[in-house]
Structures are given as C-alpha cells and as structure tokens.
Amino acid sequence: MSMTFTQDNFESEVLQSSVPVLIDFWAPWCGPCKVVGPIIDEIAEEYDGSIKVGKVNVDDEPALAEKHGIVSIPTLVVYKDGQLAGQKSGAAPKNDIVALFKGLI
C-alpha cells in the first residue's frame, strides 16, 4: 500500500529515504488520477522493500505541489538520495511508470 506524503513528513520519508521514492501528485476529482492510482498501489505492493511509494494530494498539500513545480496532474516524480531522478506528467501505463525508477533499484 502506498503512503501519504505531506509537508510534515516529506523530508524524512522522501528526501532522507535510503531507497528510491515514487511520488504520485494527484487529486480526488482528477479522472486520469483515478486511472493511475490503482497502478501506483500495485507497484507499491510489487516493489515493497525496493522502493518507497506514496501520494501527495495537491488539494491538501498545495504548497508541496507548488514547491515541486506541479502544474498538471497526475505527475509522477522519482527521488533517489534526496535528489529528483525522474518525472512524468499525465496518465501512463504501468511499464512506463516502472521505467521511471527501474534503473535506480
């Protein structure tokens, strides 16, 4: 199951993570986000221990979304060693999402 990232836990859970982190910036009213959401949860289960997977609700965390330059959702972001390692906007099939982090694990 994926985590929920917030302004309060972003540094400890994402920037200080010892494994790569996949983040789904989304909102409950976003149609494409509803398509990507179950794929993100599936990836979280399949890669448990290899990567950390979480979501940021842009309605609940607008400052966090703005800080990361999120202008459209869904946007998928990968961090490794506290640094941005990949990003993709829009709905994508599972293999495209996995390709964002596969080379980092």
Catalytic residues: 30, 33
With H, G, I as helix, E, B as strand and everything else as coil, classify residue 56. Answer: strand
Q: How many CB atoms within 10 Å of residue 22?
A: 26
Element (H, E) at 18: none
Helices then strands, each counted (H, E), the chain = 4, 5
Encode 29-50 in three state secondary structure. Answer: CCHHHHHHHHHHHHHHHHCECC
- The answer to whether residues 66 and 54 touch, using CB atoms and an 8 Å cutoff, is no
